[in-house]
Chains A and B, each alone.
Chain A
Amino acid sequence: MTCTIVINGQPHTVERGTSVAAALAQAGFFRRSVSGKPRGPLCGMGVCFECRVQVGNNKLVRACLVPCEDGMEIQT
């Protein structure tokens, strides 16, 4: 089973149950720091906040804790 998500406006298909962090890694996207440097999951368990991205309506989430859902829109 797969689902389709939209990362920075581009559609990507991932296995259902994939975490947003894993989907971003598979698709080659990173959150960027204020100085433009790539940032990604450090702890992978919701503590470090390094993987935070926006999902849907401007809501900040930790990508490592959230599973992908069909039609989910993600902004890094």
Chain B
Amino acid sequence: MLGASRRTDQNELTRHDTIVIGAGIVGAACAFRLAGLGQRVLVLDPNMPGTGATAACMGHIVIMDDSAAQFALCQYSRKQWLELLPRMPKNCELSRCGTIWVAADEAEMQAVQQKEQRYREAGIACEVLDNGSLRAQEPNLHPDLAGGLLVPDDLSVYPTNCTNWFLRNVEMRTAVKVVSIREGQVEDDRGNRYLADHIVLAAGGLSVQLLADLPISPRKGHLVITERAEGFCSHQIVELGYLRSAHQMQSESVAFNIQPRTTGQMLLGSSREFCGWDSSINRNIVRKMIERGIEFMPALAELSAIRIWTGFRPCTIDKLPLIGAWSAVPGLYVAAGHEGLGITTSLGTAELIASAISGRQPAFDPGPYLPSRATERATETAS
């Protein structure tokens, strides 16, 4: 019987409508959405909510337009964030900081013009800044930068507390490490079984431990946070070349990305490396990252860094997350592989997962994100 929690035998613990594996922001958003539809949802995680990639990242809610599918997912997701904001508590540290995409030279200014056109056609507010208006917005930027694009409705949040807020009315078990998934049930490392009609795998980069066929690999990043420096900058500022850095799939790369936190501290990124799950700090790449920052904002050299940490983006080959049914196991859905956009796109992901599970028409086309594209590619390669 659906919806009733019952104890059947010693190792068969619970029955729910849906089990979500992984309490990062993506799993939490899916659980939040499904619970909102009246489902009985159980979230399982070996650790506390929002403590993996969710805790390591910047918390930038941003529209990116690397592809039409990424653009659509970001647009829907940001709209959802903006609607939820008034309900979210102060500890989510919402800041309507906006994004400035900085163009270093005239060639990049042309890219800014194209970006502006795409955003305008999609109804997203934005404004082209020339050299003078860029300096007026952000006086600490290097005076020779050509200009940029201001996207005023982007924002920043504190992702771990947002995750906890999504989960506030959802049943959650920590210290549960799921080791296998079968139709209608999952099992943990102590032999306990949890029953549900639907299972959502939202364990980020660790999802491959449960479904080895998922094409997700960890892509390490470093972040640096400075002492308090109120007013040093007032927008999240990203170099337009960020996309270039994000695109390079092989080598390590850095790109300038700075965010003012509500504490007055500056959060400085970014780096990308493929080096497995080695979480140690790579001093060489941190140096490059800080030098890149100082090229764009020379006064950064005057600030003290007080913490440096690393995290792992769950990266897919085609830069799009895997969202939807996993046909090999009836009732199993995947919501993983969001690389550097998991905070932003968690809510769009939740919409697609909730629609697939409840049989509703989704708010936008789920086709580009379906996990079947991964298995199709594997079959093509094999044949």
Contact = CB atoms under 8 A, between A and B. Distances in A.
A29 interface: no
A34 B264 contact: yes
The secondary structure that dominates the B interface is: strand
A52 B227 contact: yes
B304 interface: yes
A37 B188 CA distance: 40
Interface string A3-39: 0000000000000000000000000000000100000
Contact of A60 (B263, B304, B307): B304
B227 A60 contact: yes
The interface size bin for chain A is under 10
Contacts of B263: 34
Interface in B257-306: 263-264, 304, 306
Interface in B174-220: none
Interface residues of B, number: 7
Nearest to B228: A34
Contacts of B304: 52, 60
A62 to B, nearest CB: 9
Given A34-B228, A60-B227, A49 B264 contact: no
Nearest to A54: B227
A66 to B, nearest CB: 13
B299 to A, nearest CB: 13
Nearest to A35: B263
Contacts of B228: 34
Nearest to B303: A60
Nearest to A50: B306
A49 B307 CA distance: 8
Interface string A35-76: 000000000000001001000000010000000000000000
Contacts of A34: 228, 263-264
A68 to B, nearest CB: 20
Contacts of A60: 227, 304
Interface of B: 227-228, 263-264, 304, 306-307
10 contacts: A34-B228, A34-B263, A34-B264, A49-B306, A49-B307, A52-B227, A52-B304, A52-B306, A60-B227, A60-B304
Given A49-B306, A52-B304, A60-B227, 7 more contacts: A34-B228, A34-B263, A34-B264, A49-B307, A52-B227, A52-B306, A60-B304
